[in-house]
Amino acid sequence: MRHPIFRPLNTRAASIFIRLVTCAALAIAVGCSDDGDDIVGETMTACDAEPVIMTTQAGVDFVRTPDSCFESLPDWPYEPQYVELDGLRQAYVDEGPADGQVVLLLHGQPSWSYLYRKMIPVLARAGLRVIAMDHLGMGRSDKPIDIASYSYLGHNDRLERFIEALELGDITLFAQDWGSLIGLRVAGLNPGWFARIAIGDGMLPVIPAGIQPYPPVENPDEIVNIEPLFGLMPAQQVPFYDGCEPIGEPDEGYFGDWMIYAMKAESFHASEVVEAMTWFDLPADEEAAYDAPFPSRIYMAGPRVFPSLVNELPGVTEQAWEALTSFAKPFVTIWASNDPGNLGQCSVQDNLICSIPGAEGQPHTRLPEASHFLQDDQGAEIGARLVDFIQSTTPTGGDYEPTCELPIAADGTGTPCTDDTDCSALVADTCISQSGSGGFCSVEGCNAGSCLETYVCCHDCNPFAAPLLPFDGSACFPPEATSLLSGRAGCTCD
């Protein structure tokens, strides 16, 4: 599984890499009961019963996973709470003292708040109020059955209104995967709500408006027998990195394939993804817990469509990202050391550390024996680090130093610039930048081997990413950026 990342060129040296990664409703209806006054239909009780399709007053058809599907889940004694937004329940657990500092935990795809089962007790015992929310279509939240009911901005809107409905403030955010793409945008646009932020294997990509990162999935409701994407991943992961350097040839997986698989594959289910992308082998009962929200395919529209929401990112995250580059409150990164996806790269972690002022001096780390779903692999350790992050006045325990400076080659490639005049005296006489936000000098029309050892020549973009090219021909880029592009939508690099 690969996570595409596009982000803008920034005046800070570490954020000038170009990468490929991994609807707002108007009315606010808040309630905490199961009655759902604007819902037509009744919920079922047996987990294997025929699904009952209900309808909101606005005409959105949805299903609700029966409570019986969540009985006796291992290490999950928590009672669900609900906030109703637009006739659809948003589920969450709320543990710890009601007057404690708030820690908001946001999961990604295709997991749910069960991912935080090892962190919640650590945080609650420390006197913190822990809120783990299920995104719409995930966990115990209601599940519209039409994929058109889900959107990136819709998830953002619901998170904002969820926070307002619970009257949360002084929040410590911990988010991962798609939880970070949603949570960081909300935090960037509403910085006053947040006291501090912690991110694990996530980020906020910025894609220019008008770009289509990947072809949309054709015939999205078609069910196809596709070979499982994760069948070759061992239950007990092998090391993928030596420090920040990949071991062996990098995976040439294409994110568009993941979009298709999640949307259409008959075999797609949550536990196969979590099992493949954790360091430790998951016991069968824990795998079943990740599948519990989805007793049949009609419940799976939310996780099916999530990867395709990358095509909704262009033009809607830049304002939030720019605000985050001024976020001076504490900001820490807690990364997995063995996440084979793009979000696991040191360079992605570096981008956050080097671009966000509040990250300076914080105890950043890369946890051993942890993969993409690091909360499952090292939840107790992450919980303890969050407690220290919140309660300590002197940050300690950091063991990761980011790389924030670009090397400058003999021809001037890598020299910071805001426009071409800053590069005019150099062989690398063109400034690679976006939206006037600064960048670095590079060489137009380079050839393989002409960029010296600190850079590589990148060119040959496919039609879907061609507008991202700074030149008609080619340019020299830092290896940290170009290694993410080779063999994926966008540039290929010599």
> So which residues are the catalytic ones?
177, 339, 372
Centre a 10 Å sphere on the Cβ of residue 396 and count the other Cβ atoms it contains: 8
Which residue type does 142 have? Answer: D
The dihedral formed by the CA atoms of 218, 220, 221 and 222, expressed in degrees to the nearest 10:
50
- The Cα 388–Cα 393 span in angstroms is 9
- The Cα 381–Cα 221 span in angstroms is 40
User: Does the CA dihedral 398-318-438-487 come out positive or negative?
Assistant: positive
What b/e readout covers 312-341, taking b as 16+ CB neighbours within 10 angstroms?
bbbeebbebbebbbebeebbbbbbbbbbbb
- The Cα 393–Cα 39 span in angstroms is 48
- The Cα 184–Cα 175 span in angstroms is 8
Cβ neighbors of 68 (< 8 A, separation 6 or more) are 45, 46, 47
CA distances from 200 to 46, 124, 348, 369, 492 (A): 36, 20, 11, 14, 28
The answer to whether 201 and 3 are in contact (CB under 8 A) is no
Q: At what angle are helices 178-189 and 152-165 packed, to 10 degrees?
A: 60
Spatial CA neighbour of 488 closest among 460, 467, 447: 460
- The Cα 355–Cα 346 span in angstroms is 14
- The Cα 406–Cα 78 span in angstroms is 47
Residue identified by tokens 């291992």 is 74
User: Does the CA dihedral 47-48-51-52 come out positive or negative?
Assistant: negative
CA distances from 225 to 26, 232, 258, 379, 416 (A): 39, 17, 14, 35, 50
CA distances from 315 to 23, 131, 207, 209, 242 (A): 15, 30, 6, 4, 36
